[in-house]
Amino acid sequence: MPAITPERAGGKNRCAFLDMLAVSELGPLLGVSDNGYNVIVGSVFSKTGNHKLDLFTDYRTHPRKVVALPKLGIKSSAAGRYQILARFYDAYKSQLKLPDFSPISQDLIALQLMKECKAFEPLDRGDIKTAISRCKSRWASLPGAGYGQNEHSVDHLVKAYLAAGGTVA
């Protein structure tokens, strides 16, 4: 579950979407971390026990660790439950007047990104597929994002959304 309450987020579907995003971005890392809020990009969970976990413990600010991802040919500063880049954290910290990179602040940034993608209206009426599609420019793991990273199927994400208590029309 996200740290933010459904009341503050604007409804249970928005919280379920946050959970779905975390499943999409982090998968099994949710269970071996602080609900994903402390995960640095490049962390890997292996069923064989070969975990490569890179976690941070100080929520006062974004960890700003740049990690090389050779398979993708990029470097990234993504961190937290929604894999927020350091440069976006800086902008949203100012815009939203956030005190830190705590779980609540991460939730608020993700909600702002959803709002900017115009995902609230379809999400609030239970049109999860449209909400996912509208957010694909913000999260590389969403179907159709086109960033060359692992994209999940809509069916997988709808199941995660429903498991988190979201409703569909």
The domain 6-163 having CATH identifier 3.40.50.300: the answer here is no
**The pLDDT of residue 71:** 82
Q: What are phi and psi of 68, to 5 degrees?
A: -80, 135
The residue with tokens 């994903």 is 36
Q: Which of 25, 116, 121, 151 is catalytic?
A: 25
Catalytic residue list contains 25: yes
**The pLDDT of residue 46:** 66
Per the CB < 8 A criterion, the answer to whether 21 and 12 are in contact is no
CA 16 to mean position of chain CA atoms: 12
Specify the pTM. Answer: 0.94
**The pLDDT of residue 47:** 66
**The pLDDT of residue 23:** 95
* Residue burial 57-84, b: 16+ Cβ < 10 Å; e: rest: eebebbbeeeeeeeeeeeebbbbbbbbb
Using CA atoms, how far apart are residues 48 and 31, in angstroms rounded to an integer?
A: 15
Of the chain, the percentage scoring pLDDT greater than 70 comes to 96
| End-to-end C-alpha distance for the chain, whole angstroms | 22
Q: Quick: pLDDT tens for 63-121.
A: 999 998 888 888 999 999 999 999 999 999 999 999 999 999 999 999 999 999 999 99
